[in-house]
Amino acid sequence: MDLGFSEEQEMLRKTARDFLETECPTSLVKEMAEDEQGYTSELWGKMAELGWMGLALPEEHDGMGMSFLDLAVLLEEMGRACLPGPFFSTVVLGGLTILEAGNEEQKKEFLPKIAAGEAILTMALTEPSASYDPASITVKAVPDKDDYVISGTKLFVENAHIADYLICVTRTKDGAGKGEDGITLFLVDGKSPGITTTLLKTIAGDKQCEITFDNVRVPQKNMLGERDKGWPVVAKILQKATVAKCAEMIGGAQAALDMSVAYAKERIQFGRPIGSFQAIQHHCANMVTDVDGSRFITYQAAWKVSEGLPAVMEVSMAKAWVSEAYRRVTQLGHQIHGGIGFCMDHDMPLYFKRAKAAEPTFGSADWHREIVARELGL
Amino acid sequence: MDFKLTPEQEALKKEFEDFFEVEMKHEPEDWVWGLEGLFSDAGWPFNVYMAKRLAEKGWLVRPWPEEYGGCNAPMIEQLIFGDVLGYYCAPGVDPLGVGMIGPTILAVGTEEQKKEHLPPIAKAERFWCQGWSEPNAGSDLASLTTKAVKDGDDWILNGQKCWNTGAHRADWCFTIARTNPEERRSKGLTYFILDMKSPGVSVVPIESMDGSKHFNEIYFDDVRVPSRNVIGEVNGGWAITQATMNYERSSVGIMSGASRGLNELVQYCKETSLRGKPLSQNPHVRHRLAQLAIDIEVGRTLSYRVGWLQEKEDIMAAAAAACGAKVYSTELWQRVAFTGIEIMGLYGTVAKGSKWAVLKGQFEDLAQSTPGYKLGGGTSEIMRSIVAWVGLGLPRIK
Ligand SMILES: Cc1cc2nc3c(=O)[nH]c(=O)nc-3n(C[C@H](O)[C@H](O)[C@H](O)COP(=O)(O)OP(=O)(O)OC[C@H]3O[C@@H](n4cnc5c(N)ncnc54)[C@H](O)[C@@H]3O)c2cc1C
Ligand SMILES: Cc1cc2nc3c(=O)[nH]c(=O)nc-3n(C[C@H](O)[C@H](O)[C@H](O)COP(=O)(O)OP(=O)(O)OC[C@H]3O[C@@H](n4cnc5c(N)ncnc54)[C@H](O)[C@@H]3O)c2cc1C
């Protein structure tokens, strides 16, 4: 058992922190929250040069061949910096899905592009029912000659408005039950005729979209994995995405804690630093437990996923805990900052908003508690 | 980052489990783990029996050097041991002798003190109590007033201690007294060990709210303690009390005890119906139990982290992490107990011994002892403050 980072991970962490501190200041984060695109190609290009998009992709596809656990280390730093843009959707939802389910040709075509930062991807999974279970998939794909024709509405699809490719999760079996059977994944060109994307205005300014597919034609060769057997792939990616999200969240929670402790040391009221008042000290101590607890439950899950071990329970435990811990940490962070933290110009709200946005993403605490209950045999 | 045990560690864990699986069959009827279980008339012989068995196995003080009965076991093995011990809710490891004074003597005792006191602890021949708190010195221990005055080669102790767990069973006591009345607070204190059979020592039991008689008052009435029983320097006792408090504070046993409790609750909820429906199908019950499982898993990682930091000799970080884990684990334990009796409803209020008691009444019992765990060994408030001062460097203004 070793609860520390390896030397390489430590180096990755440090490089990422230094890079993001210079290249991704909070001023940029705030600008991008308002910006329609939500990212700059300059920063995106620099990240690609560092090899980040291909970090967890195999070397044969121009990746760096590092592990999922390493990716979690990087994501933690990205969460700390509130990195805007399509890294998560491209790499975790896009790249890892193609790696999981793609055939050789698809891998050859798409993975090097992703690694080079030349393609932006996302996954069109959730629908207006806003749920992560297979029964919620109703968008249809119907075979027609050499194509499939997709129609229906997807909602809460991050970065769909800028995506070169969407991995669309569709239902391909009519009449079949609404369960796991009959779900198929397609790689859809984002510019295909019949696709309309509408950007939503959301709490964190992340780029969530509604997409309508109006008889969108996709060539059969763009089917990802087997027909009707797509759900296990989605389930696997959801597991990774959930842990990856938790990693991002602990980065944010740690930043909110660090910022609050620093402020508590410097803010003077009643002739002394507010950090000398016990009420503030105890808030900070509670935040530490939340952050540390989040970190190790997340890395335990990430380690299991990375090793390919069964991790349903661990992943759900992590998300249930981290969702609430990040929320608690940012609430206390605001409390410690007083009025100044309530201003849009301040950085504290960045974390508060991201905590709130991350809570329901890939399943809320309630959703995951129910999974844990099932795993307990209840 | 690597969360797996090596094959050797797995094997060791299995060995511990097999041992407790067998030995716990000697559990007296209606026995329930807890301070009451360790020190009551029915529980004490079982506690001593288990201590002797563990000593025979060489498991009581595994992290100690071989010459004092240990095997230099690394911290991780100690965590595994604590984990299994906690899960089986087994007695036998004297928290005060094995857990506190042993490591203290090992760290700062003289050669003679080590030779005299460590082997009897390792062999489970000598049990200890902690005589620190006083009626007017709890959290603010440094304000204590028990006095020790030099008389020839001895010290004469006078004063009153309280809340002393197991003092009525203990052979020896470690205590602190004021040796320099001129110095204020922590500066004039000395750390002593003394034989509880010394003339002038008397022990008066205190009944705690859960009905158990595990803690006591200790009166020192002209108790003579030879100089060789001073630990560390005269007037230098304070630093040593701080060291004593930092040993094995990983709280791993509480987490695994909580995990055992949860497993039993889960089983109970699967087997028990309320208004014709198993409790396990009630969404509210499901979520409460799931949350406990999550909290326990988080707690386990937090306590393993304490051990890991200790092993890395990151002493300050380990101390802060240990205080955090102490608050977390004791609060969690209370939630486990409360969740249990709340789910059981009226049955949750029935004490052990009745045919209507659920799960031997252990939740009714545990629920009432958990307030004490949040106080003893440093209250939650003091622990949080230490996290803030030591862990985060927030200013301490006196
Ligand atoms: C929405 C909003 C509207 C407002 N409207 C007005 C208005 O109309 N007019 C106006 O004059 N002001 C207004 N204020 C200012 C408000 O009164 C202050 O924000 C408030 O008094 C706290 O002061 P502070 O922000 O400087 O925080 P600080 O006083 O610096 O406090 C920071 C943190 O330290 C804690 N703290 C400070 N001292 C102690 C102590 N002794 N013990 C324990 N903890 C302590 C605080 O509780 C807080 O958690 C408004 C603020 C907000 C957020
Ligand atoms: C089950 C149990 C077993 C025990 N076993 C032993 C034993 O074996 N040997 C022994 O010597 N002692 C033992 N104790 C005593 C224990 O160490 C004390 O109870 C503890 O240190 C608290 O002291 P107190 O009870 O006097 O409470 P107080 O110190 O009076 O505290 C009362 C309340 O005030 C709070 N408080 C005090 N100071 C501060 C501060 N600076 N900031 C914020 N809040 C503060 C506390 O957190 C608490 O909430 C035991 C206690 C219990 C409950």
CB within 8 Å: B388 and A275: yes
Q: How far is B298 from chain A (nearest CA, A)?
A: 5
Residue B334 structure tokens: 């209370």
Q: Whose CA is nearest to atom 33 of ligand 1?
A: A336
Secondary structure of chain B as H, E, C letters: CECCCCHHHHHHHHHHHHHHHHHHHHCCCCCCCCHHHHHCCCHHHHHHHHHHHHHHHCCCCCCCCHHHCCCCCCHHHHHHHHHHHHHCCCCCCCCCHHHHHHHHHHHHCCHHHHHHHHHHHHCCCCCEEEECCECCECCCHHHCCCEEEEECCEEEEEEEECCCCCCCCCCEEEEEEECCCCCCHHHHEEEEEEECCCCCEEEEEECCCCCCCCEEEEEEEEEEEEHHHEECCCCCHHHHHHHHHCCCCCCHHHHHHHHHHHHHHHHHHHHCEECCEEHHHCHHHHHHHHHHHHHHHHHHHHHHHHHHHHHCCCHHHHHHHHHHHHHHHHHHHHHHHHHHHHHHHHHHHCCCCCCCCCHHHHHHHHHHHHHHHCCCCCCHHHHHHHHHHHHCCCCCCC
Q: Is A346 in the pocket of ligand 1 (CB under 6 A)?
A: no
Q: Which of A69, A71, A296 to mutate to test the interface with B (most CBs of B within 10 A)?
A: A296
Q: What pLDDT, in 10s, does the model give residues A324-344?
A: 999 999 999 999 999 999 999
Q: How far is B248 from chain A (nearest CA, A)?
A: 18
Looking at per-residue confidence, does B315 or B95 come out higher? Answer: B95
pLDDT of B61 above 70: yes
Would you call B134 an interface residue with chain A, using a CB distance cutoff of 8 Å? no
Cβ neighbors of B315 (< 8 A, separation 6 or more) are B246
CB A90 within 8 A of CB A121: yes
For β-strands B128-131 and B172-178, DSSP reports them as: parallel
> Which atom of ligand 2 is nearest the CA belonging to B130?
9
The region of weakest confidence among A67-81, A164-178, B133-147 is: A164-178
CB within 8 Å: A289 and B269: no
> Which domains are seen in chain A, by residue range?
7-119 (1.10.540.10), 123-229 (2.40.110.10), 232-375 (1.20.140.10)
Q: Which of A104, A133, A72 lies closest to A297 in space, CA to CA?
A: A72
Mean pLDDT value of segment B198-227: 95
Q: What pLDDT, in 10s, does the model give residues A187-213?
A: 999 999 999 999 999 999 999 999 999
For β-strands B277-278 and B273-274, DSSP reports them as: antiparallel
> Which atom of ligand 2 is nearest the CA belonging to B378?
21
Would you call B69 an interface residue with chain A, using a CB distance cutoff of 8 Å? no
Q: Which of A122, A127, A124, A125 lies closest to A164 in space, CA to CA?
A: A122
Q: Whose CA is nearest to atom 10 of ligand 1?
A: A339
ipTM of the complex model: 0.92
Ligand 2 centre distance from Cα of residue A120 (Å): 59
- Owner of token pair 């009166």: B219
Q: What pLDDT, in 10s, does the model give residues B345-392?
A: 999 999 988 999 999 999 999 999 999 999 998 999 999 999 999 999
Query: Nearest residue on chain A to B10, judged by CA atoms?
Result: A1
Cα A287 from chain centroid (whole Å): 23
> Which domains are seen in chain B, by residue range?
7-93 (no CATH), 128-237 (2.40.110.10), 252-391 (1.20.140.10)
Neighbours of B161 (CB within 10 A): 26
Residue A192 structure tokens: 């295909």
Would you call B393 an interface residue with chain A, using a CB distance cutoff of 8 Å? yes
CB within 8 Å: B298 and A296: yes
Residue A195 backbone phi and psi in degrees, to 5: -95, 130
CB within 8 Å: B324 and A6: no
Q: Find chain B residues with C-beta within 8 A of A366's C-beta.
A: 287
> In which region does residue A127 sit, left (phi positive, over 0), alpha (psi from -120 to 50) or beta (all else)?
beta
Mean pLDDT value of segment B133-137: 97
> Which atom of ligand 1 is nearest the CA belonging to A337?
32
The region of weakest confidence among A175-184, A204-213, A244-253, B268-277 is: A175-184
Vertex A358: Cα angle to A353 and A363 (nearest 5): 150
- Owner of token pair 């008052």: B217
| Facing B290 at nearest CB: one of A2, A299, A376 | A376
pLDDT level of residue A176 (50, 70, 90 thresholds): low
Would you call B284 an interface residue with chain A, using a CB distance cutoff of 8 Å? no
Percentage of chain B lying above the pLDDT 70 cut: 99
Q: What is the pLDDT of residue B312?
A: 86
Residue B209 structure tokens: 């709210």
Q: What pLDDT, in 10s, does the model give residues B339-358?
A: 999 999 999 999 988 999 99
Q: What pLDDT, in 10s, does the model give residues B86-125?
A: 999 999 999 999 999 999 999 999 999 999 999 999 999 9
| Facing A370 at nearest CB: one of B286, B328, B389 | B286
Q: What is the pLDDT of residue A225?
A: 97
| Rounded alpha-carbon distances, angstroms, from residue A42 to A13, A24, A48, B83 | 21, 11, 10, 51
Q: Whose CA is nearest to atom 52 of ligand 1?
A: A339
For β-strands A140-144 and A183-189, DSSP reports them as: unpaired
Q: What is the pLDDT of residue B244?
A: 72
pLDDT of B210 above 90: no
pLDDT level of residue B247 (50, 70, 90 thresholds): low
Mean pLDDT value of segment B179-188: 89
Would you call B295 an interface residue with chain A, using a CB distance cutoff of 8 Å? yes
| Rounded alpha-carbon distances, angstroms, from residue B233 to B120, B152, B174, B179, B384 | 24, 17, 15, 11, 30
**Mean per-residue pLDDT over chain A, rounded:** 97
Residue B253 structure tokens: 């046993």
Percentage of chain A lying above the pLDDT 90 cut: 97
DSSP A200: P
Helices within chain A (DSSP H only): 7-23, 26-34, 41-49, 68-81, 87, 96-101, 104-115, 231-266, 278-307, 312-337, 348-358, 365-375
Q: How far is A165 from chain B (nearest CA, A)?
A: 34
pLDDT level of residue B32 (50, 70, 90 thresholds): confident
Burial A307-327 (b: 16+ CB within 10 A, else e): eeeebebbbbbbbbbbbbbbb
Q: What pLDDT, in 10s, does the model give residues A78-91?
A: 999 999 999 999 99
Q: Whose CA is nearest to atom 24 of ligand 2?
A: B138
